[in-house]
Amino acid sequence: MNRVPEEERSVTLSDKVYQRLMRAKQEGEDIDDVILRLTSTKLFGLQRRGEEEIQTSDGMTLLVSVDQDLCMGAESCVGLAPEVFSLDEKQLGRRTSTEPLGMIEVEEGTVDSEKIIRAGKSCPYQAIRVRDAKTDDQLCP
Q: Is the four-CA dihedral 101, 104, 108, 111 of positive or negative sign?
A: negative
- Report the predicted TM-score, pTM, of the whole model to 2 decimal places: 0.60
What is each CA distance from 35 to 19, 29, 32, in whole angstroms? 12, 10, 5
- Pairwise CA distance, residues 90 & 120, whole Å: 22
Q: Which class for 128: exposed (0-12), middle (13-18), buried (19 or more C-beta within 10 A)? A: buried
Residues 102/85, Cβ–Cβ less than 8 Å:
yes
The HSE-up count of residue 77 (CA atoms within 13 Å, CB side) is 30
pLDDT tens for 87-120 read: 765 555 444 445 556 777 788 889 999 999 999 9
- Pairwise CA distance, residues 62 & 127, whole Å: 16
Between 114 and 4, the more confident residue is: 114
- For the chain, domain boundaries: 15-140
33's CB contacts (< 8 A; 6+ apart) are: 25
pLDDT tens for 40-89 read: 554 444 444 567 889 999 999 999 988 877 888 788 898 899 888 887 65
Q: What CATH architecture is 15-140?
A: 2-Layer Sandwich (3.30)
